[in-house]
Amino acid sequence: MHRYPRAVLSAALAAWAAAAAPAGLFPENEIGLNAIYLPGTGLGDFDAYEQGYGLELSYRNWQAEPWGWALAAGMTRFAADNGSRAWGVGLDGDLTVFPFGGSVLFKLADTYSYTVTAEGGLRYAPAQSDLTIQAGRGRMDLDVDPALLGVLRLAAEWPIAARTRFTAGLGYQADILRGEVKAGDRPVHDSILESVSVSIGLRWSL
């Protein structure tokens, strides 16, 4: 249950070590760290979560520029919508998701002062659930199966140092395969992680 946070920490330490490499060692490669805000998931009555917050660490390769590819891993936490009746009465707690996967990149604009990049990719998203729901006079724990997400993003970058750029972007994630929510062995509903997103972060050239 606790192996995913350790994996994210290990990836962050590896990224820090890579950032300390001599300038120009791998000119087509870069790493980035983004903070992501998701204002809400799902549509209408199927919305069982409120806002979510997350971090994503990514590696990008631009050897075929303007085309590129990326590998990414992160962690996102969604708070339960206490007023939602999508799964029953009295939903509480939060859901932590650990998405990882790959993307295809394309530079829409690339100038001395800014860069605009489009991204499309897939994320496999195992989850750690601390969600509970009212069951009679007590509460019942809910388990959430892994999901498969599709992501679309548009981001702009501005140089702030020789090898460092500030980035800000908008995105959208959709459920390709939804994770099933279970109370014990009994299916309750599907977990919907569909959401728009806003992100800011830093990116370093290697």
Q: What angle do CA 7, 13, 16 make, to 5 degrees?
A: 145
The answer to pTM > 0.95 is no
Distance CA 3, CA 132 (A): 22
What residue ranges do the domains of the chain occupy? 3-205
Express each pLDDT in 50-94 by its tens digit. Answer: 889 999 999 999 999 999 999 999 999 999 888 777 776 788 899
Residues 6+ apart with CB under 8 A from 196: 38, 39, 170, 171, 172
Instruction: Output 83 or 173, whichever has higher pLDDT.
Output: 173
Q: How confident is the model at residue 27 (pLDDT cuts 50, 70, 90)?
A: low
Q: Is 64 helix (H, G, I), strand (E, B) or coil?
A: strand
The total number of residues shown for the chain amounts to: 206
CATH class name, domain 3-205: mainly beta
Instruction: Output 139 or 202, whichever has higher pLDDT.
Output: 202
Alpha carbon distances (Å) from 195 to 11, 83, 96, 99, 176? 25, 19, 15, 14, 13
Per-residue confidence (pLDDT) for residue 183, from 0 to 100:
87
pLDDT mean over 17-22: 46
- Please give the helix or strand (H or E) that residue 57 lies within, else none: strand 49-64
Express each pLDDT in 180-193 by its tens digit. Answer: 999 888 888 889 99
